[in-house]
Structure 1
């Protein structure tokens, strides 16, 4: 007959109690760091803080979709193997980085200067290549391609923005510092808004039946715009804004158009394309070319 081994039930170690009657928690069982410390050490706290700041800056209509897109576009900042891979892989990587840079650049309007400058720095970092065969930085080819995509996505006529691109783009293999990159991005976005305002102004001038404007009226508006841009040269910034605003006010424009019509000079149609090209030329004349 097999011997039956009797086993005693395992006795759990007695729990120690504090004076208040609550069980004391052993310090050896506690994690080395709290949950908050862990999130801070791995960078999650700072990442979420940056994401929430972007939401406050952009104030999107769909915050959840915005955050999803934000986290999707967080990667590809100066990858360690930026110069490695076959040409097709490099082309795909370059297009992805351009897309991410554009997304960051559109997060804030250029008038929100602090937020816009921060986004420009992030976009510059996204596009800066690094690797064993490449030094960190941005080349002129990538910079010029980004300028073209901004203007193309802004739906500005190519013949309108071409003179600006010729003025501010860099050579393909030229190194582009951050300050030049920032100035180029700002200039492009301001020109696109300028052209959009000029287009809206032309719609007020054109004859709906003919889809063209009277040349006398169109030229009078352009002359007024040119005077506003040139009259305040050398003046302090607040004075320039006030001077330009007064010259472009409804009363000043109405007076200029009335004088043009009263002159009774022979006139011809002015197309939208011609008006926009001349208006953009006034803006581009103020832009300093890249040295």
Structure 2
């Protein structure tokens, strides 16, 4: 009988917060745990935009390898960082209840720039494209690093603001007073959700983690990530998706934009909450593709090669 579940995590403050959250939940169920922290390629290379690195699962690959080699038993991730196709032998074991899925703008106390010229920072193509779609007269600067590093870079530069995921700042009590919710910006698929993965043949860990799974978050993130996978085809692209349970329905919003934000394809669709949701994300993606999305994805691929 195994004694301890070794929890693999990145070593940033936010990643460690997530790992310790899973640890507390497992400890509460009577399981012994150990945190094993590692640095990922995504944490080490901060001067190149993520989409230029061309590595699938840049924040998860190191932990995938550690699991396959037997150095850790499970791994905890921000679900939006996890590729839609997991490596062979690794499976999704639990999705925890979602936190705030919103994007927020952290600013310097003056929002006049929203009605004038301005500069904001983000390392996300999705955020960049949606910002430029709404504020075409603005400039967007690249921003990489963990949340602490990005907040410091915002202070050190003459940018007007930077876009963050609300959940990340809230989880480690770094949410500044000077922020506004961007309720018009559709978040990344699975933003605000945490996922725990394990080896598919590890019955002990799979049984333990099943007790942590949050059903409605699992359903919502499945739909969003399926939408992403269908559109993406292995290409990083400005894609947003959000599925929410409202009364007796699942409401889905999805968006695909050109990198410069000038082209935008949006879909909103609802389905009964009790219906078969297994292909809903695909159906929404197919509607986008049929409405100009195929040509737009081709344009995005060409733009990223330049």
Normalising to structure 2: TM-score of the pair? 0.23
Could you say which structure has the greater relative contact order, defined with CA pairs below 8 angstroms and 6 or more residues apart? 2
Higher Rg:
1
Normalising to structure 1: TM-score of the pair? 0.24
Q: Write 1 or 2 for the structure with the bigger share of strand.
A: 2
